[in-house]
Structure 1
Amino acid sequence: MKKDININDFKVTSPVKIEDLSTTFDLDADKKDIEDELQDVCKDLAKIQNAMYAHGKYAVLICIQGMDTAGKDSMIREVFKELNARGVVVHSFKVPTELELNHDYLWRHYIALPARGKFGVFNRTHYENVLVTRVHPEYILGESLPDVNDLNDIDDAFWEKRFTQINNFEKHIAQNGTIIFKFFLHLSKDEQKNRLLRRLHKEEKNWKFSAGDLEERELWDEYQECYEDAINRTSKDHAPWFTIPADDKPTARYIVAKILYDTLKKYDDIKEPELDDETKANLDEYIKKLENE
């Protein structure tokens, strides 16, 4: 790779304006070089995950958000394919079920959190509750909240309270050993158009298309405003947002993998536990016993 990345170039540490953020990033490398580098980083990431699994003190939560066609599914497939399957769990959150609606909106996310020693990946996340529901506030009525009787009750104070709840949720799990990453895959409207057209033109991709995709595309500006507000209100030291240029999928995957690896390798306390003194002292004896069977 001719050009390395600085993760601070993507980390949100002060208010951002989405329209000023680029949807492209030049790694000064061809597609094959980027894919080769991605594989190397993913293998290094897998080593950290193996040590973390044995260590059993931290969990890692990776939240992936983005507009339709931003590349969330393929991002998850390519970045985490080197990890041991027992150490990573992916949850794709769809429209809430009846059971989920009978609980508070964070319940289904809380019960899906990764155990210590594991990676948890949220494909769409608890932020849908301040993104989709903000663009479509009528969805809130389905939550049967005691203080919300009609759309007039869903005001600025309502959203302020919800952001506070989300910040408290993330602070709580971070204080209890969960390392949080939040990635916004920043796609341009033109590239989304190209990807939707590919879904229509290629028969094997038709199943991915829904007429609802076009309806949501018409609300592009509203979604961008909601993403900007959500990112600015909730990017914290313990739960930072990273804005990832997503017009080129291989580049976006490499940046995400590199951010994960460069951050996690700084946790020098994540180590495989050492054998106890008695076991260490008898290793040669155990080896001989097995070899002489």
Structure 2
Amino acid sequence: MKIETVGIVGAGTMGNGIGQVAALAGLKVVLVDVTDAALAKGVATLTSSLARLVEKGKVDAPSRDAALTRIQTSTDYQRLAAADIVIEAATENADLKIRILRQIEAVVRDDAIIASNTSSISITTLAATIGRPERFIGMHFFNPVPLLPLVEVIRGLQTSDDTVAAVCELTARLGKSPVNVRNSPGFVVNRILVPMINEAFFVLAEGVATAEEIDTGMRLGANHPIGPLALADLIGLDVCLSVMDVFLKDFGDSKYRACPLLRELVAAGRLGRKTGQGVYRYDKA
């Protein structure tokens, strides 16, 4: 199928980023969230992101302006009826995602694809909650979406070959590189990455080194572009904790136990860059 209109549910960090790259690729975008305020914030974020790309010479002003005209926003799920694919980009909570997926299914065409941007939740399990599971797939973008080229395309047990092919083609059109992944908790990248981040919190909690020293060690000693604790702040400490909890539940292996310090920071509302404080403090101005 030819995908020309992309629906996105969730105007937060991931949703507005996906909307930005889709609009730049010439696709129509319908961005849905629960409040006008959330939508306004999402559009403001992607508008600022596009402005930075223009300043850096990566996008020209006419392309930016054209992209912005392709984005529509609404709090009404009915606006998704014309979408060829709808990508759910809500918080990493299975119950919430299932509610959203059922709302999406109620309004889209029978041949429309429904995708989830989940970073850890089983695609097979999510697919089983809707009536056309063969049209369901995982499409895991990485933050920041406009800059990182990878998309994990996750096939659930029920996902059809046609759905996989259409989503891989869409991913390439968005200027991203798809990797095909079999359904498994955390898929590929987060299965490796988030436990490493969790171990960095244990090292910090044990006083083996300061946060700065841990991050410097991994940058200079392992050639990572960003240290694991700074990366946790970028991802969101709540997201890291949610992923670890999924791993612990689905694998039943104590090696996936979340570090108590990570859990405590989340309980304190110190979620990273998005709240102005996580492991580090940030100027939100």
Q: TM-score range by the shorter chain?
A: under 0.3
Q: Which has the larger radius of gyration?
A: 1
Normalising by structure 1, we get a TM-score of 0.26
Normalising by structure 2, we get a TM-score of 0.26
